Amino acid sequence: MTEHEQGGETHEHGSEPPGFFDKPSTRKAVWIVLIVLCAGFALAGFVIDTHGYFAVEGFGAFYAIFGFIVFSFIVLAGQHLRKILMRPEDYYDD
């Protein structure tokens, strides 16, 4: 008799039930929360008075934009560094 005939459930990851973040509704909720938080922090830059050292820091969303650009640079640089530094799987084998 198969699991389906016995009333058992089969899942994508074997016999384990889906985890909390495997549900599409949870993923969507997490994305919405992240987007709202990012937008809120970017908008807060226009309300909170920061005393920056440079004139460009006076722009409200400067830190949000700067952070996004730097994060993107780090990710893209990491992809190229991987090509340079990557070793074969059996590199440390005798």
Domain encompassing residue 32: 18-85
Q: Is residue 2 part of a domain?
A: no
Q: Is residue 44 part of a domain?
A: yes
Enter the DSSP assignment of 14. B
pTM of the predicted model as reported, rounded to 2 decimal places = 0.56
Q: Is residue 47 part of a domain?
A: yes
User: pLDDT tens digit string along 4-44?
Assistant: 545 555 555 567 787 888 888 899 999 999 999 989 988 88
Q: Is residue 78 part of a domain?
A: yes
Q: Is residue 6 part of a domain?
A: no
For the chain, what is the domain count?
A: 1
Q: Is residue 36 part of a domain?
A: yes
User: pLDDT tens digit string along 38-92?
Assistant: 899 888 888 888 788 888 888 888 888 899 999 999 999 999 999 899 888 888 8
The answer to whether 22 and 14 are in contact (CB under 8 A) is no
Q: 22: Cβ–Cβ under 8 A, 6 or more apart, which residues? A: 13
